Chain A
Amino acid sequence: MEREKTDEELLAEFQQGDAGAFERLLRRHRSPLYTFFVRMMGDRARAEDLAQETFLRIVRGSAAWEHRARFQTWLYTIARNLCVDAARRERFRRAESLDAQDGEEGAPLVDAVASGGAGPDREAHSVRLRPILQRALLALPAEQREVFVLREQAGLPFKEIAELVGANENTVKSRMRYALSGLRKALAEVGVTAEDAEPEPEPPPGVRLGRA
């Protein structure tokens, strides 16, 4: 069987005018990127807008893309910048901080629950927990949240995250530790433990990491 083409190869083909190559890239990254925004923003409609905008920027910037740059890093750099912009606008709009965990923040999360598919117990279980987790995630400071999501969900290594957010690797890891410990505490406060979150020791097969 033929080797799966890398992102970079596909983008190079797109640069040569092959729109199909871009379609494959899109198929590969659409869900992870969309999920990235859902986790970061806690709002599906905005996640959709921002994920679309990210891909549009990729399209527009493709001609200038350099082959030695890693596609995924580029993709999430744009995505992360859009998040930062969005957060800034948000602050502008309502003087409260992004981290506010009460009030309207709840609404989109309910929406998030409803979208989870039916399935085996484990899946139903995680569907039940996800809004709680999502809320805890949104309660984290933005710089911890982005590191957490980029590592856990997008699957970027710490080194790339450091480059992407413009901090050194130790700072990034320290944010990650704070994020994990913050999440753990938030869950403990509502009585959820690791065992609740994941009844089986191995990650469920339904869990797909952002990156192969």
Chain B
Amino acid sequence: MNCVESQDLLLDLAYGELPPARAVEVEAHVLGCATCRAEMAQLEDARKAAAPLRELEEPPAGFDEPILRAARAEAGLQADGTPGPVVEVSATVKPLGLQAARLDPHARMRGGTARPGPRWGQRAAVFGSIAAAAGLAVVVTSSLRPKHTAQQMAEEVAPIQVRAPATVPISGDDGSLAKYAKAVSPEESSTKRAREPVAPPPARAVDAAKQKMADAPARAKDRTALSEQQAPAAAQKTAPVAQQAPAAVRKAPAVAQKAPAAAQKAPIAAREADGLIPLSGERFRSPEQATERPAREGLVREYRQGPRPDAERSSEESKVTEAASPGAGTPQVAPLSAPAAAPPVGGRFGGAQPGPANPDQLEEQASAARRGGDYARAAALYREASAMRRELEPARAAWDMAHAVECLAAGGQVDQAVAARRELLRAFPGHSGPKAAADSALRSVRLPADEEKPR
């Protein structure tokens, strides 16, 4: 070992960061080398001199309280027994929602980053679920036994699906379809699906189904017919709701026509989608629902996963979808299934993942950029992820946006941070968690202007 090498490592030696063998080597050199010995002595002197700075200081009394309060609130959100993923997803999915929660109350956690929606949403969802389930789905649910593996869950989902129709909103979902279609090419997604056929973990299963749902509403009529055979009494009550759907169907005729065909070609996707859709249909058949209108509207809005203007955009975007997937037939479904199936492959589990723009991956890159201090890039990635999630996973999209605000604020781009916060409030009204996070990120940044620091 020469002096140059050794001097590079003196600090590591002083702080015990060298592997033992290497440490012995460096020490041996230092002992025999006056220059390095002097250098090492200086380092050690300085460290000794600075020792008092290492002593810990205790924060004042009362320090913990606000933090613990926040922690309890956060834990309450996550663990108060409300179904995690499903609720957030759309507050919709009735018996399946309950079923999923029973199967795996922490599915969300295992899945990763999905966040619960606002509490009122959960309550409304649970109430709606119970009401709807009580009304009609007794048969359906009683055929389900809770089991704890993803595979079983996926299998159990299948039978429910076919039973009842989707009577749920249609319009906004096409937008997401188009987005994902742009993100993942059809070939890519179909190979991905082939590789990863049946059983995403529960949280993902729900996600997957949710995403599949995007194209399913277009098949509402189809499905309604089915349910009429299987549940005649229910069918009558479905009718009014089914009438709500056609308006949107008309706006996206291409999807409406192609979707059934696509469903046949992609049985898995179709079955998963069906699993959710029929159940949400049941909601409308339950007599209790008649009196639960406000809650229901809330649900429908959440279910829609996007603001109303999407209805106008849908036909346009369905064209985009077609353009992005010239293969005809399957493309309508394929792009959808890919993002749903992708996360277990890569994303936070760290596997390699093809395809440039998967929101999980974007979030991961953003988080890495953020850790690395590259806030501008982190913010841009979070925004991109937010845009992709916006239709299907508004809660996560809102958090992505909040992270973008935080990053912009941390990077000193105050104006942009303020603008991003405004966008967050506009695009995701009612998402209080992300709003609070954004506010807090900006609270500190704005301080110099108004000087109103607490305490």
Residues of A at the B interface (CB closer than 8 Å) are 14-19, 22-23, 26, 30-32, 34-35, 38-39, 44-45, 47-49, 51-53, 55-57, 59-64, 66-69, 73-74, 77, 81-82, 84-86, 88-89, 92-93, 112, 115, 126-127, 129-130, 133-134, 137, 148-149, 151-153, 157-158, 163-166, 170, 173, 176-177, 180-181, 183-184, 187, 192-198, 203-204, 206-210
A19-B76, A89-B447 are known; give 16 further A-B pairs, CB within 8 A.
Answer: A19-B68, A23-B68, A49-B454, A51-B63, A60-B74, A68-B348, A74-B371, A133-B50, A152-B50, A164-B371, A165-B373, A180-B43, A180-B47, A193-B45, A196-B49, A197-B48
Known: A59-B67, A64-B399. A17 touches B48 (CB 8 A): no
A-B contact pairs, 30 of them (CB 8 A): A14-B75, A17-B76, A23-B64, A26-B71, A34-B57, A34-B58, A35-B56, A38-B57, A39-B53, A51-B63, A53-B440, A56-B440, A59-B71, A60-B436, A64-B363, A64-B399, A73-B371, A74-B371, A133-B49, A158-B17, A166-B374, A177-B11, A183-B46, A194-B48, A196-B49, A197-B48, A198-B48, A209-B54, A210-B54, A210-B56
- Shortest beta-carbon distance from B31 to chain A in Å: 18
Q: Please indicate the chain A residues that have their CB under 8 angstroms from the CB of B250 in the complex.
A: none
- Shortest beta-carbon distance from A4 to chain B in Å: 18
- Asked whether any CB of chain A lies closer than 8 Å to the CB of B52, the reply is yes
Residues of B at the A interface (CB closer than 8 Å) are 8, 11-12, 15, 17, 42-60, 63-64, 66-68, 70-72, 74-76, 78-80, 106, 109, 112-113, 115, 348, 350, 363-364, 367, 370-374, 399, 403, 406, 409-410, 412, 433, 436-437, 440, 444-445, 447-448, 453-455
Known: A16-B78, A151-B15, A163-B371. A32 touches B46 (CB 8 A): no
Contact (Cβ within 8 A) A48 B60: yes
Contact (Cβ within 8 A) B53 A134: yes
Contact (Cβ within 8 A) B54 A18: no
Alpha-carbon separation in the docked complex, A180 to B72 (Å): 42
Alpha-carbon separation in the docked complex, A173 to B15 (Å): 11
Work out how many contacts link A and B, with CB atoms closer than 8 A.
222
Tell me the dominant secondary structure on chain B's binding face. helix
Q: Please indicate the chain B residues that have their CB under 8 angstroms from the CB of A55 in the complex.
A: 67
Q: Please indicate the chain A residues that have their CB under 8 angstroms from the CB of B433 in the complex.
A: 60
Q: Please indicate the chain A residues that have their CB under 8 angstroms from the CB of B47 in the complex.
A: 152, 180
